[in-house]
Amino acid sequence: MAEQLQTNASNGEWTTIIRPRTGWFDIDLQELWRYRDLIVLFVKRNFAVLYKQTILGPAWVLLNPLLTSVLFNVVFGGIAGLSTDGTPSFLFYMAGNTVWTFFSSCINNTANTFVANSQVFGKVYFPRLTMPISQALTSLINFLIQAAMFVLFWLYFFFTGADIHLTAWMWAVPLVLVQTMLLGLGVGIIVSSLTTKYRDLAIAVSFGVQLWMYVSPVVYPLSTLGESPRLAFLMRLNPMTAPIEIFRTATLGTGSAEMGMFVYSLVFTAVALVLGVVLFSRIEKTFMDTV
């Protein structure tokens, strides 16, 4: 091989040709796989940067959903008196909040990919998708830690006689987690691609995610909309309704998990992810001229 390269070089022929990618679908998944070690390094870096110079460090991974669940329990369960379908209100809110925190962190952490890493992108080449993928994997690790805390509380309520139980929907939980991560990744990279030209989108996305939470069954069950078929239909069009309801149905034995709603959410996720990856691939070719 070395002789062949030398012979080609002596004959004045090029041994390596680098061409720009100009098509909409110029996405090299094999190259992305070859850079998997870089993704791992980015995940480690994300944790180091996130908890650097903090007092409690990684404990914030547990405190954030715990304090939020307590607040929801007091405000929506105690003051507003919203129904939780007969399950312990604290577990009800923690189940919904755990899934939603996972989804929202995937969006928020990937929304500034181009702008936040413009200096790195301008100095060295590597597949740009490694950045948002590493952020999504970081959110997945945080979710698994929070899920472990949810299991501990679930065991406490179960052995104290609460009316909760696992259901056959447990088979769908791993798929729901992957879908939630990919949906957050797809929406996040769409936003990150658009923020190269429209910086105010980065500001609007945080507010938009908060609004999205209140039109998702995080603080109330889907069953409460049964008296309003139109609102229930609109709620089912929300791609995050199915993951939250399935997680609750699987772990608490209550909820409105439906196969049709789940299939719709999977299709929506696939479309958002493909659109995001294609748009991301297109924007990365020229983003240094606009950032």
Q: What is the pLDDT of residue 206?
A: 80
Burial class (CB in 10 A: 0-12, 13-18, 19+), 208: middle
Q: What is the pLDDT of residue 3?
A: 39
Domain total for the chain?
1
Alpha-carbon gap, residue 180 to 177, rounded angstroms = 5
In a domain, 101, yes or no: yes
In a domain, 232, yes or no: yes
Q: What is the pLDDT of residue 205?
A: 82
**CB within 8 A of 179, min separation 6: which ones?**
243, 265, 266, 269
Q: What is the pLDDT of residue 6?
A: 43
Segment-wise mean pLDDT, segments of 10 residues, the chain, 291 residues: 43 57 62 84 81 64 83 84 84 92 90 72 76 90 91 93 90 94 92 76 80 89 78 88 93 87 94 88 64 52
Alpha-carbon gap, residue 151 to 148, rounded angstroms = 5
In a domain, 144, yes or no: yes
In a domain, 14, yes or no: no
Whose CA is closest to 196, among 77, 116, 255, 124? 116
In a domain, 16, yes or no: no
Domain boundaries, position 128 = 26-289
| pTM score, whole prediction | 0.83
In a domain, 258, yes or no: yes
Q: In this structure, what token pair is assigned to residue 210?
A: 């908060």
Q: What is the pLDDT of residue 19?
A: 57
